[in-house]
């Protein structure tokens, strides 16, 4: 029998907790909480790393368990993936140079190279659609005037 506390936890929250606290496959989590696998993936909330981004504007997060295992934090603002090991020891790879205030700095080229191409394509598509809709709205308004 489940306790009243367990009943109060939403399936999405339970799926997120199970995802981060166990090694259970997403399929098993989905079955356990009564959700589809895609719904489980949608319910996963990034897990904080406790480490600031190289720019210092946000805390890095783990977006999935694989990135957590590999020590790759993601900046929630830029989407850039950063090796936590390199942030702890910038001299280890030579990729990060010390910037102002002793923070490791990442060049614009490194940041651009780390952006997920699929995400960039989605953003570009959304921007393009927005421009097209805006241009159409202007044309309709001008034609009615």
Count structural domains, the chain: 3
pLDDT in tens, 70-84: 999 999 988 888 898
56 pLDDT above the threshold of 60: yes
Q: Model-level pTM?
A: 0.56
In terms of domains, do 16 and 59 share one? no
CATH number at residue 31: 1.10.10
pLDDT in tens, 81-133: 889 888 876 555 444 433 333 344 455 566 667 777 888 888 888 998 999 99
- In the Cβ-directed half-sphere of 125, how many Cα atoms lie within 13 Å? 6
Rounded-to-integer distance, Cα 96 and Cα 86, Å: 8
Domain range holding 38?
1-44
In terms of domains, do 55 and 77 share one? yes
In terms of domains, do 18 and 54 share one? no
């Amino acid at each position: 029998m489940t306790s009243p506390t367990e009943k109060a936890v939403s399936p999405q929250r339970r799926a997120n907790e199970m995802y981060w606290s166990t090694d259970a496959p997403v399929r098993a989590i989905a079955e356990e909480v009564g959700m589809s696998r895609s719904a489980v993936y949608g319910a996963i909330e990034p897990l904080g790393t406790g480490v600031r981004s190289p720019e210092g504007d946000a805390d890095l997060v783990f977006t999935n368990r694989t990135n957590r295992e590999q020590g790759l934090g993601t900046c929630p603002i830029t989407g850039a993936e950063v090796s936590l090991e390199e942030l702890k020891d910038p001299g280890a790879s030579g990729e990060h140079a010390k910037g102002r205030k002793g923070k490791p700095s990442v060049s614009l080229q490194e940041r651009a190279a780390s952006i997920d191409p699929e995400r960039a394509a989605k953003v570009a598509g959304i921007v393009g659609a927005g421009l097209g809709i805006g241009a159409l709205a202007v044309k309709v308004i001008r034609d009615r005037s």
